[in-house]
Amino acid sequence: MLNSIKILLKQVKQYKTAAFLTPLMTGLEVLMEILIPFITASLIDKGINSGSMPNVIKYGMIMLMMAFISLFFGVAAGTFASRASSGFAANLRDEMYTNIQRFSFSNIDKYSTAGLVTRMTTDVSNIQNAFQMCLRIAVRAPLNLIISLAMCIIIQPRVSVIFLVAIAILACIIIFLMGRTTAAFRRTFRKYDNLNASVQENVSAIRVVKAFVREEFENSKFVKAATDLYEMFVKAEKLTVLTMPIMSLVINGCIIALSWMGAHFIVDGYLTTGQLTSLFSYVMNVLFSLMMLSMIFVMITMSTASGQRIAEVITEEPDIRNPENPVMEVKDGSVSFRDADFAYKRRIVTYDEDGHEVITIEDVTKERHEETLHDINIDIAAGETIGIIGGTGSGKSSMIALISRLYDVTNGAVLVGGVDVRNYDLTVLRDAVSVVLQQNTLFSGTILDNLRWGSPDASEEECRRACALACADEFIERMPDGYNTMITQGGTNVSGGQKQRLCIARALMKKPKILILDDSTSACDTATDAKIRKAFREEIPGTTKLIIAQRISSVEDADRIIVLDNGTIAACGSHEELLKTSEIYREIYETQVKGGGDFDHPQ
Amino acid sequence: MADQKRTPAPPRGARIKTKVENPGQLLKRVLAIVFKNYWLHYLIVLACIAIAAFTNLRGTLFMRSLIDDYITPMLSQADPQFSPLAAALVRLAGIYAIGIVASFTQQRLMVNISQGTMLNIRKQLFTHMESLPISYFDTHSHGDIMSIYTNDVDTLRQLISQSIPQLVNSSITVVITFISMIMLSPQLTGVSVVMVIITLLASAKLGTLSGKYFIQQQKDLGALNGYIEEMIGGQKVVKVFCHEDKAVTDFRERNEKLRDSAYNANRFASIMMPVNGNLGNISYVLCAVIGAAIALSGSVSLTLGSLVTFLTLNRNFSMPITQVSMQMNSIIMALAGADRVFKLIDTEPEQDHGYVELVQVREAADGTLSETTERTGEWAWRHPHQADGTVTYQRLQGKVTFDGVDFGYTDDKMVLHDIRLFAEPGQKIAFVGSTGAGKTTITNLINRFYDIQDGKIRYDDININKIKKPDLRRSLGMVLQDTHLFTGTVMENIRYGRLDATDEECIAAAKLANADGFIRRLPQGYDTFLRGDGANLSQGQRQLLAIARAAVADPPALILDEATSSIDTRTEALISSGMDKLMSGRTTFVIAHRLSTVRNADCIMVLEQGRIIERGNHDQLIAQKGKYYQLYTGNQASA
């Protein structure tokens, strides 16, 4: 916990001055505020009780000045606190985001998208609030406590015994209560999260609920869970509501003791009436500060989880980096796998006692059955068209991910243009190897904006050409705004097949030496699919093309087809050869011809 | 429109919660809910607040008599008598004790009131939500609906448990403090009041400024969060295109904008506290000085005790007022939340005017049907006849007809035009066509997720409007493309199809759906706990479970929406054979994506832009050489 606080605090950076000035200003404000009752004592004793109007005015002016100074420092503290906390939050987001940009695929796999988004939004706001609170109250409360105590001791050391006793009693009770309640509240909040999760489930699965006529069932399930939650809350809060009455008890006890002892001291001449009134103010101050302190404590405990989650992202080490003295040019589009083995790191999700996800990544032991790819050996010449086919989990996507170094091999090597991919500059390599991912995304912006991801300075003409190659031109031109049509977030306003073709066009914009399509035409009808492949063959013959597909028809005209089975190359050859030699290939072919094909197609 | 359910939620934080119409009305309604179940509790709470405020005041006023009546006289006594003071302190202790008991009672009851009211509101929200039509869920983002349960209900709890009692407490304190102040010194009270007015004006000014920037901050926050969601979601694409630097630049622009507006919004809010506090200090000082002057001048009698007491009262007077003014914002926010809660509760639930019911029957030897509660596997429609009070039974067969059906999600835009179809019992009807052609829409109509604008849909020759919705839906099993599973064990998820199914029946259903194999390989088999919509299962496995769930329900008719996502050949084979087994002997409507599904359909409907453009079985349609042929062969030229 301390460690993550340290990591977070490093991000205060340019707001250090503001972060430092806030407590300073607050301190001065508190000092002024606390001195006011002290001066009041003088006003009463030297002014009223001795009947001196000049003294009244003198002390009055001092107090008024102090109040104004306090106001000034208070406003300054507030301003600095906001500057420091909003800046700190911006820095945290920035640091997380830039680090996420450095993440490799396996770093990305470790976190879920939703998890990362929560860290950058909710968790950052939690920390921002806690930070601001800490800057202001964490100084104010202890300072208030200490100065008030000091003032009491200065006024009359013997009276301050009352305070010490009261503080000791109060501290014990608060610590005891907090110990009991935080555990109860944690359990309760977890339950609360679960309740909300079940509502969420109902909202998204409402069609299932309605289709099975399960409204009553869901209602009774919910009512039971909500009632449980109610009981847990009441049980947990039963203890917290004791805090205030106990505080009042102690404060009131103090006032009575102070009245009794004060009266004795005044009569005996150890104390003046004015001082007694100041002491009354300080009692309130001390106890109020204690309450504040307990509040801060709760706030910090509540935000530690957020802090840890943020620190986790900031300190995540990207596991793929640029080599020293990288190779800056990819000679040609040849690809070679040399005894390549690959295993994903194992992502283990457990839940801590608060019900938060704890993700740990384990390096997989070198056992063969845990490897995704095993002993891959193949040489692909520049300009060749290679089809890759095999069942889910056979390792198709993993194999092509190694080429542009989205993941690193665990053993062996992958060579592009005759050079180990680990020796290339990452940007150079990835610009030469264009991958159309299976899970692909378009971003909000116009079609042109999206295409220019592949090449920022491309002219509209170049964009059109790429779209023509990917057979995307016809539907784009039919759209009301053509190439300037806005794509909504997530690309929801284009159909699956259109999205795939746009993604292919975007990948082509790079003019890559190697083009990889990972099941990228699955939502296009067979005719379009064939047309795209024909365009590739005729227009970009020099580009090495690797095509992963579920449909045999998508790969049958490739120069060679790799059949992957369980992480190994089971067979490799042309369609005709494989039909003769590979049993797996023949099986896939037959089921598809018999009618396992896909009937989905675009508009 | 068919894909409405997948519209993404708007970015979090995009909603601006600062505007409320009719706050008084809303507050009244919130209070009505609280009072309905807890009026006695609440009255006691109010009484306790008043008692606590009075005892507090008594405590403060004691200060005056401590100085004026006990200490000052004692100072002039040769032999000071402490016993009267002791007696007074005992009385004070008694008053304090009453105050403490009152404040404890108040807080303890408040727990029950606020949590109990939350429970009632949650229950009402949820049960009402379950009764809403599908269109509600299709037209409201799920993020917004969720936010009602989380944020809005929570701010409402704060309103009930903190703001309202504090408001009451503050008002009582202000009033009785004010009266005591006037009794002690009308002149000083004047000073106090002026200072309070200045404080209020300052708060109002700061509040407006802060509010203005707050709206800007919410906007910037929404924009940044939206950007983060989109970019992180597409992070792998960012990597593949080496787009990292550009992504950082774009991000920074938005991040800095938010930082600046957050700073401004925050600044005015955070200087509110020191401004209020120190204006209080100034008021304290002014009263002390003016009070001292008055006491010294002797024109009006003001004892030292009175002055000291007044100074404390002055604080007690201004503090609750500034507290309330600071609470105002959270009250408005809570009322905005209440508004959204009530909007959901006020949304018209799904209407059902049906009267025909689905019942289990047993056939007697003579062919007459009699109703039974046993699970016979034989179903009949039960028609009550209002005229003579008799009931007739009609065997359920599974014949479905569409007659000239027009439908649009909104009245101005029709999605389906003049749909006519005829499904004989046990037939398999397949719909094919491109995305947006209206395939999913048709299935939404059969089970009345949506009601049609024109035409008629009949089920066993009964207009489906006359069938009670729950009974209609019970008769139609559904397997949707997006499989949704619930938190719970695998067994519980299968049993969702029929709650009284035994373990054996569930396992049998899983076997029929070809799900048994993978379930047994799960760590705890059928007792494996699924959470987060079955996140620990693959898409194919979830689909198999959904089929098992429909199988255990054993419905007479089925609606299937095939999964489109790429599933490996082996699982796909398992799924399609599972579906085939499920379909056998039932009238089935299937939205087909696979050739194998279509080929053995009794009738294939080819949809385009909301119209059926071709119909027939596979061979007929191939022979017709129309759109179907073109899609099937992928051969554009021959079209």
The DSSP line for B575-613 is HHHHHHHHHTTSEEEEE--BHHHHHT-SEEEEEETTEEE
pLDDT score, position A562: 94
Give the pLDDT band (50/70/90) at residue A596.
very low
In a domain, A331, yes or no: no
Query: Higher pLDDT residue, B73 or B300?
Result: B73
Q: CA-CA distance, B115 to B122, in Å (whole number)?
A: 10
| pLDDT value of residue A601 | 39
The neighbour count for residue B491, using CB atoms within 10 Å, is: 18
pLDDT per residue over B516-527, tens digit each?
Answer: 988 888 878 899
CA distance A95 to A99: 6
> In this predicted structure, what is the pLDDT of residue A595?
46
Region A329-333 average pLDDT: 91
pLDDT at B630 over 80: no
A408 and A309 in one domain?
no
B6 touches A: beta carbon within 8 Å: yes
Using the 3D structure, point to which of A254, A283, A315 is the last residue of a domain.
A315
Q: What does chain A come to in residues?
A: 603
Q: Using the 8-state DSSP alphabet, how is residue B529 labeled? A: E
- What is d(CA A435, CA A401) in angstroms, rounded to the nearest whole number? 8
For A117, the closest chain B residue by CA position comes to B229
Q: Give this prediction's pTM.
A: 0.75
Q: Chain A interface, mutation test: which of B166, B285, B606, most A Cβ atoms within 10 Å? A: B285
Q: B471 vs A439, which has greater pLDDT?
A: B471
Quote the CA–CA distance of A480 and B503 in Å, as a whole number: 56
The answer on A309 and A386 residing in a single domain is: no
Mean pLDDT (whole number) for B475-482: 84
- ∠ CA A362-A365-A368, nearest 5°, is 130
Question: For a pLDDT cut of 90, what percent of chain B falls above it?
Answer: 23
- What band does A600 get if pLDDT is binned at 50, 70 and 90? very low
Note the Cα B386 to chain centre separation in Å: 40
CA–CA gap between residue A581 and residue A190 (Å, rounded)? 58
**Are A161 and A282 in a shared domain?**
yes
Model pLDDT for residues A85-105, shown as the tens digit of each residue = 999 999 999 999 999 998 888
The distance of B420 to chain A (nearest Cα, Å) reads 23
- Mean pLDDT is lowest, of A16-20, A134-138, B253-257, for A134-138
Tokens at residue B568, please? 């490996």
Is A386 contained in some domain? Answer: yes
pLDDT at position B507, please?
93
Which residues have a Cβ under 8 Å from the Cβ of A20 and sit 6 or more positions away? none
Q: Residue A546 pLDDT more than 90?
A: yes
**Residue A292 pLDDT:** 79
- Residues A308, A406, single domain; the answer is no
Helices B186-233, B244-297: crossing angle, 10 deg rounding = 170
Q: Which residues does chain A have within 8 Å of residue B198's beta carbon, measured at their own beta carbons?
A: none
Computed over every residue of chain B, the mean pLDDT equals: 84
Residue B597 CA from chain centroid, whole number: 39
Say what the pLDDT of residue A305 is: 78
The answer to whether residue A344 sits within a structural domain is no
Query: Does pLDDT of B21 surpass 90?
Result: no
pLDDT at A593: 65
User: Are A262 and A400 in a shared domain?
Assistant: no
Asked if residues B389 and B406 have their Cβ atoms less than 8 Å apart, the reply is no
Residue A488 is part of which domain span?
Answer: 368-595
Above 90 in pLDDT, residue A543? yes
Would an 8 Å CB–CB cutoff place A268 in contact with chain B?
no
CB-CB under 8 Å, B596 with A204? no
Q: Domains in chain A: how many in total?
A: 2
CATH, residue A574 = 3.40.50.300
Chain A interface includes B242 (CB < 8 A) = yes
Within-domain flag for A310: yes
pLDDT tens readout for residues B156-215: 888 888 888 888 888 888 999 999 999 988 989 999 999 989 988 988 888 888 888 888
Residue B1, pLDDT above cutoff 50: no
Start-to-end C-alpha separation, chain B: 28
A601 interfacial to chain B (CB closer than 8 Å): yes
Does the beta-carbon distance from B142 to A203 stay under 8 Å?
Answer: yes
* B302: nearest CA partner in chain A: A48
pLDDT grade, residue B59 (50/70/90)? confident
**pLDDT value for B67:** 85
At CA B620, angle to CA B615 and CA B621, rounded to 5?
55
Q: pLDDT digit string (tens) for A202-249?
A: 888 888 888 888 888 999 989 999 999 999 889 888 887 888 788 888
pLDDT band at B305 (very low <50, low <70, confident <90, very high): confident
Residues A393 and A250 in one domain: no
With beta carbons under 8 A apart, name residues in chain A contacting B80.
267
What pLDDT score does B10 carry? 36
Copy the structure tokens of residue B334: 């809570």
| Gap between the Cα atoms of B274 and A30, Å rounded | 10
Q: Is the pLDDT of residue B475 over 70?
A: yes
Q: Are residues A240 and A159 in the same domain?
A: yes
Whether residue A19 sits in one domain with residue A153 = yes
Sign of CA dihedral A414, A419, A422, A426: negative
Whether A368 has a pLDDT exceeding 60, the answer reads no
Of A559-563, B324-328, B466-470, B602-606, the range with the lowest mean pLDDT is B324-328
Give the sign of the dihedral formed by CA B494, CA B498, CA B501, CA B504: negative
Distance in Å, alpha carbon of B364 to nearest chain A alpha carbon: 30
Q: Does A284 lie in the same domain as A143? A: yes
Q: CA of B269, closest CA in chain A: separation in Å?
A: 8
- pLDDT at position B116 is 92
Tell me the per-residue pLDDT of A251-271, one tens digit each, with 9 for 90 and over: 888 889 988 988 888 888 888
What CATH number should be reported for the domain holding residue A123?
1.20.1560.10
Task: Give percent of chain B with pLDDT exceeding 70.
Answer: 92
B347-381: burial string, b at 16+ Cβ within 10 Å, e else: eeebeeebebbbbebeeeeeeebeeeeeeeebbbb
pLDDT (tens digit per residue) in A410-427:
889 999 999 999 999 998
Q: Is residue A110 part of a domain?
A: yes
Average pLDDT, chain A: 84
**A503 → chain B, closest CA residue:** B237
